[in-house]
Amino acid sequence: MSKTIMVVDDEERIRSLVRAYLEHDGFRVVAAADGREALFLVRQEKPDLIVLDLMMPEMDGYEFMRLHRKEEGTPIIILTARVEESDKIIGLELGADDYVTKPFGPRELVARVHAVLRRIGQMAPAPDILRAADITLDRAGHLVKVGERFADITPSEFDLLAVLMTTPGRAFSRYELLDRVQGTAYEGYERTIDSHIKNLRAKIEPDPSNPRYIETVHGVGYRFARARD
């Protein structure tokens, strides 16, 4: 069942943009234009995570968090143009789980949604054995088998392959792959993913120059190919 994300922002353009990217990633999205509307909807929809703007009419994000935290512990990602350190501290003290500053990259925001859900344990644990095409990945044994042979891959390549194999056909951005494999502390080195992919292809692809398993999604990142008929 899809996770439900509530997007609370007084700018319709922002709500539509975030909704489009989240829905493309498989989430169910509900939206509100201010904190008052969000308080009403959150009781009905019971979202798994809230993306919350701070500066809104009627009821701002701070007041929404104060009231909502008395009832629920829903994870919250603050989305705001305010960059003062004091604003960030107040937001985190009120219970925000992450903080994204406008202008922002929609794919980065989606990656942070995944990261927060994963961090609080709401995402389903990945199985120990993953199978896609003729590749088998064994998490417990830290083994990768391509057809009848075992591939000798590094820990980073193993983690990267595991992420891609979890959802064949789903495109992952470099930022999201880096976050899944190494954490946001490495966010300045997104292009290292290209190097890992190149090395991984050399070890698992029949023809690395014409990849069968790990496909490049131009302008986005990479995906593991869907099963062919």
- Are 106 and 158 in a shared domain? no
pLDDT for residue 51: 95
Q: Is residue 43 part of a domain?
A: yes
For residue 85, give the CATH number of its domain.
3.40.50.2300
Q: Is the C-alpha dihedral spanning 142, 147, 148, 150 positive or negative? A: negative
Distances in Å between the Cα of 115 and the Cα atoms of 55, 76, 97, 118, 158 are: 24, 12, 10, 5, 19
Q: Is residue 163 part of a domain?
A: yes
pLDDT for residue 32: 95
Q: What is the mean pLDDT of each run of 10 residues along the chain (229 residues)?
A: 88 93 91 93 91 88 87 86 65 78 86 86 68 91 93 90 88 79 51 87 95 91 80
DSSP for residue 185 = G
pLDDT for residue 184: 43
pLDDT for residue 84: 63
- Between CA 171 and CA 7 the distance in angstroms is 22
- Are 141 and 113 in a shared domain? no
**Which pairing describes strands 49-53 and 28-32: parallel, antiparallel, or unpaired?**
unpaired
- Are 106 and 137 in a shared domain? no
- Are 109 and 133 in a shared domain? no
In this prediction the pTM is: 0.56
For residue 170, give the CATH number of its domain.
1.10.10.10
Domain extent for 105: 4-119
- Are 107 and 183 in a shared domain? no
Distances in Å between the Cα of 205 and the Cα atoms of 14, 74, 173 are: 40, 42, 21
pLDDT for residue 83: 61
Question: Is the distance from CB of 165 to CB of 145 less than 8 angstroms?
Answer: no
pLDDT for residue 72: 83
